[in-house]
Amino acid sequence: MKTNKDKFKEEYHKIMDDYLENYDKIDLVKVVWKDANTISGSASYQDIKERGLLRAETIGYLVYEDEESIAICGFFFPDRNLSIVDPQSITTFRDVHVIPKSWIQSIVSLKIDFEESKKLKERYLWLEKGGAE
């Protein structure tokens, strides 16, 4: 008889299998952008001039874009009816940055080695089933 833990593991692996098959449809990007800078306490004109805006670098999955902004996130959690081609089917995003396009200096698409990711997943599953090192 299967325990709740076994059922959860089965369900989890099914979702992750579906997820990995579609994983390469979302771009991993590095965004360099300018952000607001807060100077606490008093500041001279020279302080303001020298400190200026902050230079931010954010790496994440590009999950939304419109005329004014982009949204990238660090994590996303697919639902049971996963379709990464349709971002509306992903139920939860975590660590989301919505960045105005006018603040962006550059966007670089990062290469993801999907074959290596699949190999790591297969190795993990093999070890989980009691495979020897």
What DSSP string describes 24-70? GGS-EEEEEEEE-----S---HHHHHHH-SEEEEEEEEEEEE-SSEE
User: What are 9-61's pLDDT values in tens digits?
Assistant: 666 566 556 555 555 556 788 999 999 999 888 989 998 899 889 999 999 88
Distance CA 81, CA 93 (A): 16
For the chain, the helix, strand and coil percentages under 3-state DSSP, each to the nearest 5: 40, 35, 25
Residue found under tokens 């997943």: 121
pLDDT at 5: 64
User: What are 71-113's pLDDT values in tens digits?
Assistant: 998 876 655 555 555 555 555 677 889 999 999 999 998 876 6
Residue that wins the pLDDT comparison between 36 and 3: 36
Output the six-digit token pair for 54: 């902050």
Distance in angstroms between the alpha carbons of the first and the last residue of the chain: 29
Distance CA 1, CA 9 (A): 14
pLDDT at 95: 85
Spans of all domains in the chain: 4-37+48-128
pLDDT at 104: 95
pLDDT at 117: 65
Tell whether pTM > 0.75: no
Distance CA 38, CA 47 (A): 11
